Amino acid sequence: MTRTDVDACKDTIRNQVWDLLDRHGAIAEAGSAHGRIPNFIGADAAADRLAELQVWQDAAVVKAVPDKAQLPARARALREGKLVYMAVPKLAQPQPFYLLDPAELTVAPEEAASSRVAASIARNIGLDELRPVDLIICGSVAVNRGGVRLGKGAGYSDIEVAPLAQAGLIGAGTTIVTTVHSLQVVDTEISETRHDFSVDLIVTPDEVITCSPPRRPAGLHWDDLSAQQIAAMPVLQSLRSGR
């Protein structure tokens, strides 16, 4: 299967899930689910279920996406004293992570955990300042029970994880989890590219699904990245130039 075929299959699954969420009224805000990581109804309940797990309780350092669906999990992590690294939306800055240290917050965790507020109160840091990560929380459009997931198609989550692996900041002891609505869990086989990662755990408001041993990228594969992606993400430019 060519890369074009893989991308077309992924888009088909995305649109099926977005349509399903829209039909069932499963989105927690106005508008369609299409084109985004769905901010699903029940995100709070999924975060509560995640917090019951031993991997959550053992984690001191959490890396999380900035999407609204994962806001309850980020806020809970801060309330419980965990250090949170939140990716800058679209990795659009040279130092592409917000450092959220619960000991230094000047606003409530629920505020600090939003990408809008984090942008104004948190310090931006690069890979060189990150501590090893215990738990990664990612968003998804769809995920199958084997742990293979789809984002919205831009590849930001995958590119966030690959440099962490390359820098030795994640490893076999790092758990990757996605929080989703039950309608986002599909039985369909999902093809993977070299940058794609799979998850250890899927957490919905109703259940926890333990997946197959996860696939982790060892690092960046430059020939899989487009010139547009590299131009849009300063961290990629720095890594390619060796800075």
- Count of structural domains, the chain: 1
Q: What does the pLDDT profile of the chain (243 residues) look like in tens digits?
A: 677 888 899 999 999 999 999 999 999 999 999 999 999 999 999 999 999 999 999 999 999 999 999 999 999 999 999 999 999 987 778 899 999 999 999 999 999 999 999 999 999 999 999 999 999 999 999 999 999 999 998 767 777 788 888 889 998 889 999 999 999 999 999 988 776 889 999 999 999 999 988 777 777 777 777 777 777 777 777 777 765
Domain of 69 in residue numbering reads as 3-241
Q: Which two tokens stand for residue 6?
A: 């893989």
- Its pTM stands at 0.92
CATH of the domain at 38: 3.40.50.10420
The two tokens of residue 54 are: 């031993």
- Residue in 101, 156, 158, 162 with CA at minimum distance from that of residue 127: 162
